[in-house]
A = this chain, B = another copy of it.
Amino acid sequence: MATIYQVSELAGVSLATVSRVMNNNARVSDKTKQKVLKAMAELDYRPNAIAQSLASNRSNSVGVLVSELHGPFFGMMMSGIDLELRNAGKHAIFTAGHSNETDEQDAIEFLISRNCDALILHVEALSNEYLIKLAQGNVPLVLINRYIDEIADQCFYLNNEDGGYLATKAVLEQGHRQIAYISGPLWKQDARDRLKGHQKALAEYHLNFADTLCYEGAYIEQSGLDGVTEILKQQQPFTALVCANDEMASGAIEMLREQHFTIPQDVSVVGFDNVNFSRYLFPKLTTINFPIGEMGVMAAHWVLRHIYRQEQYQINHLFMPQLAWRDSVTTPKSNSR
């Protein structure tokens, strides 16, 4: 692999000059510029990004932490970030935090040790305190799907309460009045917010929230199966089921079908997130769209604007959920119009 030194030798100029034409930041006469470019081409020269980074203290790369490298959710996020950064001549370095504190912390340290110019983090386990302290350090960061008051300008988040509200309202408007709910784990803020939105929608229709029609799951498919089983045990009839994410909705549909309910004729089902597979479900799942890809794009824009000084990007922090109408919701039998 050719170095800048060999290029300078072949071109008959100094290191500094070669560096100048590479970075195109200082004035170089057209003649020497051509000589250098020719030498670079001849030697098939590629700058060593590591050395550049060490010398300039900038790496042109931004570190990204997601919970998992697989899964439709993070896939969209990574793709969005990658696309935007690449278009701007920057690069993303992805790591996984696996929703646990140790891995998340390790991943962040790795990213920092690689001289990332900025960090885009989707963290679940790390505390607010840790993140606030980190944000005060040398490396700029933004948070996706998390809101921390102290660093609000670096947060990108969804209005989960609105989402929960929209989901439940969708079935209310179809005439449903007996509505079951499978929640996410309530230690998570987004699960609490979604539930709150659900309750708000019920209240608007003067309906009471019934504990017997609510199950706290873990955002995994099995919770859908368990939730339906548990709720059915209560012997309290319901014509619609709202789930706090699509995985649980999928499990719920499976169990409902097993119990000889037809979807949506016997029970309407709504999910949340609009992950990739939701349109493969049968019936195609009505759900709430979580614009995670756009949030990734926006986080990338923030970095481009604030770190790489590309002022053309407009930033907004709050994202709105939207209902994705598909086939898993209809009017209740007893109340069809």
Identify A277's interface contact among B47, B70, B95, B280, CB under 8 A.
Answer: B280
Q: Is A313 an interface residue (CB 8 A)?
A: no
What's the tally of chain A residues with a CB closer than 8 Å to chain B?
A: 39
Q: Are B1 and A49 in contact (CB under 8 A)?
A: no
On chain B, the residues within 8 Å of A51 by CB distance are: 54
Q: Is A129 an interface residue (CB 8 A)?
A: no
Q: A82-B96, A280-B250, A282-B281 are in contact. Are A113 and B49 (CB under 8 A)?
A: yes
Q: What is the distance, in angstroms, from A33's C-beta to the closest C-beta of chain B?
A: 22
* Contact (Cβ within 8 A) B78 A70: yes
Most buried by B among A94, A280, A281: A280
Interface positions, chain A 33-47, Cβ under 8 Å from B, are 46-47
23 examples of A-B residue contacts, CB within 8 angstroms: A1-B138, A47-B113, A48-B54, A49-B110, A49-B113, A50-B54, A50-B114, A51-B54, A54-B54, A69-B79, A69-B94, A70-B72, A70-B276, A71-B75, A82-B95, A82-B96, A91-B95, A93-B93, A94-B94, A280-B280, A280-B281, A281-B281, A281-B282
Closest 8 CB pairs of A and B: A70-B75, A282-B282, A277-B277, A49-B113, A69-B78, A70-B79, A277-B280, A50-B115
